Structure 1
Amino acid sequence: MRKKIIPILMSIFLLAFIPLNGDATSTVIFIEPQLTIVEIFHTFQINISISEVTDLAGWDFKLYYPNSLLNATEITEGPFLKTAGDTFFTVKEFTDNYNETHGRIWAVCVLQGQGSGATGNGTLATITFNARLDGIATLHLAEKDLIDSKIPPKHIIHKTIDGVVEVLGHDIAVTDVTLLKTVVGQGFTCCINVTIKNQGKYTETFNLTVYANKTMIGIRAVTLPDGNSTVITFTWNTEGFAKGLYIIEAIADVVPGETETADNTYIDSIIKIVLAGDINADNMVNYLDAIILGAAFSSQPNVPNWNPNADINNDNNVNYLDAIILGENFGKTDP
């Protein structure tokens, strides 16, 4: 048996010296399916297939793939060449680290003995991968060769079609935190708008939590379809919080399968809790605050003289109710 194998293997490894078969052909070696869509961290298989081939006695290919996205775990011989007889199948190289960016699989298969080769369509090999990161991966067939059963064998002219793998990921991002005012009277409320976006490929349900100086001030369960963005408004009641500066932080829970987690947290807003009526936050309630309130009096959001800091009771109106609060604390200082 070994005596039969050796000449065939020699022909495979010396393919550069085999004359080309000049006949026109429609033979195609290709990745099947052409497009594979898979969820991150899942396992999938692709076939190296062939169509419209005549008298195939041996094949040889190298497959390249991005090792940042995919991890190859197994290759097995397909059934097609075996339809013509016993085969010798060997894997010359199987590594995720062919170079810094790509893995490479190099496989060879030949018929043993003499006789006609395989004709028609079928699977040459099946490869199993793990999807390790979301993105688009090209499966590139290169340096491949097909030979027929003639003595000496001839190359079979063929075309090649690569494949694409789209790895779908999970990715929630907090894209903005906006405070509707920068000063809030102690014991009163203020509104915080948090913008979130589902940058992944699946509808996600998760918790969105807002903190003031690491103290939780609100939590909301959110369901967000893929590709969508929404604004969630939190109302913070400052009752029981000490006067001073507070950093507002919004955190979206990491969803299963999410790998890009840095953008789940957004910290970029500061608000000051003050003595109610201290609109300009200078630690005293006096005529300066009254002037500011007067300038915004009778205003509502989206009008030119609207000043949210002057809306002390946070009812979207600057009116006599705010003036009463200011008046009650007029002349007071903090501390």
Structure 2
Amino acid sequence: MKYYKKPVTIVFLFVASLLGIGLSYCFAQAESEVHGVAIVSMDVPLSVSIGKKVNIEIVVGNEQKTKVATILTVTCHETGQQIGREALNLDGSSSKKIVYTWNTGGLKEGTYRIHAEVEKIPGETDVDDNVKHLEVALVR
């Protein structure tokens, strides 16, 4: 048994050092992201008759503890139509529900993608949650 003590100890220290480096790297990556604002949810009907008005409900959240200002813009990708644009002031760790009405009059039958985006705030690096898309089928 005395022949295995040193190799086992060396292997253990090597594995422990690798795990330590990996864990510290993971923690450094997580700490470097700066959260800001996000589109928490977006709700539109899946299918609507052409000519009807559609309510688009969006909840924008502030992931920071301090008050922030941003701009929410909602557009229809296929037509380029701006459905709504609004400056928002959000208290720390709060959210706000915004409802826009989209008039589908004059549009053709098909699938339309609704695009919502909140502008990034200064210093924000986690921007993946600043954009959401949903599709609406317009039918006769």
Tell me the TM-score normalized by structure 2: 0.68
Aligned mate of 2:105, from 239, 248, 255: 239
Higher-helix-fraction structure? 2
- Which amino acid in 2 is paired with 1:265? V
Alpha-carbon deviation of 1:223?
Answer: 1.0
SS at match of 1:200: coil
Show the counterpart of 1:177: 42
**Contact residue 203 and residue 224 of structure 1 kept, 8 A:** yes
Note the C-alpha offset of 1:211: 2.3
Larger RCO: Structure 1 or Structure 2 (Cα < 8 Å, ≥ 6 residues apart)? 2
1:225-258 CA-partner distances (Å, limit 9, x unpaired): 1100121111111234322111222111111111
> Are 1:189 and 2:78 matched, yes or no?
no
What pairs up with 1:1-335 in 2 under 5 angstroms? Answer: 101=24, 135=31, 169=34, 171-179=36-44, 181-213=45-77, 215=80, 216-267=82-133, 269-275=134-140
Q: 2: CA distance between counterparts of 1:134 and 1:226?
A: 21
Q: CA offset at residue 134 of structure 1?
A: 8.7
Deviations 1:49-85 (A, max 9, x none): xxxxxxxxxxxxxxxxxxxxxxxxxxxxxxxxxxxxx
Q: Structure 1 stretches (4+) deviating beyond 4 angstroms?
A: 133-136
Gaps of 5+ in 2: 1-20
Would the alpha carbon gap of residues 170 and 182 (structure 1) be closer, same or farther in structure 2, given more than 3 Å must change?
A: closer
Q: Which residue identity is paired with 2:95?
A: S
Larger C-alpha radius of gyration, 1 or 2? 1
The letter for the 2-side match of 1:247 is R
Taking a change above 3 Å as real, the CA distance of residues 247 and 172 of structure 1, as seen in their structure-2 partners, is same
Residue identity opposite 1:243 in structure 2: E
d(CA) in 2 for partners of 1:220 and 1:186? 26
SS in 1 for 2:65: coil
Taking the aligned partners of 2:30 and 2:93, their CA distance within structure 1 comes to: 15
Over the aligned positions, Cα root-mean-square deviation in angstroms equals 2.5
Question: Structure 1: which 5+ runs fail to align?
Answer: 1-98, 103-132, 137-168, 276-335
> 1:24-58: CA deviations, max 9, x gaps?
xxxxxxxxxxxxxxxxxxxxxxxxxxxxxxxxxxx
**How big is each residue's C-alpha offset from its partner over 1:306-325, in whole Å with a ceiling of 9 and x where there is no partner?**
xxxxxxxxxxxxxxxxxxxx
**Aligned with 1:263: secondary structure?**
helix
Supply the AA of the counterpart residue of 2:111: L
Partner amino acid, structure 1, of 2:139: V
SS across alignment from 2:71: strand
TM-score for the superposition, normalised by structure 1: 0.31
